[in-house]
Amino acid sequence: MKSPLLSLPGAVPAEGVDEGVAAHYGDLFREQRALADGTGFVDLSHRGVVAVTGDDRLSWLHLLLTQHVSDLPAHQAAEALILSANGHIEHALYLVDDGSTVWAHVEPGSQEALIAYLESMKFFYRVEVADRTADTAVVHLPAGSIAAAPASAVVRETPYGRDLFLPREELEAFAAQAGPPAGILAHEALRVEQHRPRLGFETDHRTIPHELGWIGSAVHLQKGCYRGQETVARVQNLGKPPRRLVFLHLDGSEVHLPPAGAEVRLAQDGPDGRKIGFVTTSVRHHELGPVALALVKRNVPVDARLMAEDTAAAQETVVEP
């Protein structure tokens, strides 16, 4: 889904999974500072949008998701996962109920697989699931923004800002009055600063929620009856996850950022040392400089100096060992 906002002055298209929206509009750090100050907006119209209607929508979703949503109040934001039978993360949903419809935005291109799974689980429940990506665009307003949401938008308000589910036909008109646009790279830089994991970036085929700090925010420990719940309970009650998410301050003298997938080693072991993790997302932050998120083995000392490929890195704990 290619955004019409790519025609705005200075827009440089994003690549990879975020293809379809702008990576930036000519000044990455200015765009970050604007978002940090609560001004501007981010075009996320490439993300998938799924809508669930019907009288049983919340009780039905409650059985499938990791989050407690059976009594979710209207207009209250929630975050939830869908796990495999072995407890590995398959989908991440960012949702809100407007009183008649549950709206969720998901990773670009993942809505088809999500809908296929939801359709297979409908049984006798009074629910309808629809792909609304073609007619609904997601727009992000940062925390502190005083921009008015159009009356036609469904608003999902979080501590990090507001996500608007906006009729796609209104996207250009909204952009014209919402302040300076910021690209997906600025949005990602603030996400990394806030230690927030993203499906497909901080996850691989064997990631479980405990490794990323998704317990609590996306996984409710006082509910069961969802696929993968046994793994969640076993790790919570009897053990520890094999890996943990860390935040890395990277050596600013290096010209290149270590890419996603770059091997992480203990600095004391040198370049030929044993791999103890990998970079998941690396960015240049307007205040912190080059930083990254990484997954490392749980038993890596929290004060250990690390190397991300050839770049020295100091770690901050995100998930406790």
Q: What pLDDT digit, counting tens, does each position of 253-263 carry?
A: 878 899 999 99
Q: Which residue has the higher pLDDT, 179 or 79?
A: 79
* Contacts of residue 240, Cβ cutoff 8 Å, sequence gap at least 6: 210, 298, 321
CATH 2.40.30.160 in the chain, residues?
242-320
Does CATH place domain 48-131 in 3.40.1190.20? no
Q: How do residues 214-265 score in pLDDT, each as one tens digit?
A: 999 999 999 888 999 999 999 999 989 999 999 999 998 878 899 999 999 9
Question: Looking at residues 168-176, what average pLDDT do you find?
Answer: 97
Q: How do residues 261-298 score in pLDDT, each as one tens digit?
A: 999 999 999 888 999 999 999 999 999 999 999 999 99
Q: How far is CA 168 from CA 17, 41, 51, 131, 285, in A?
A: 20, 15, 15, 13, 30
The dihedral of CA 36, 38, 39, 43: what is its sign?
A: positive
Class of domain 242-320: mainly beta
On the question of pLDDT at 132 being above 90, the answer is yes
Q: How do residues 178-218 score in pLDDT, each as one tens digit?
A: 989 999 999 999 999 999 999 999 999 999 999 999 999 99
Q: 271: buried, middle or exposed (CB in 10 Å: 19+, 13-18, 0-12)?
A: exposed
Q: How do residues 96-125 score in pLDDT, each as one tens digit?
A: 999 999 999 999 999 999 999 999 999 999
Q: How do residues 88-98 score in pLDDT, each as one tens digit?
A: 999 999 999 99
On the question of pLDDT at 134 being above 80, the answer is yes
CATH 3.30.70.1400 in the chain, residues?
48-131
On the question of pLDDT at 316 being above 90, the answer is yes
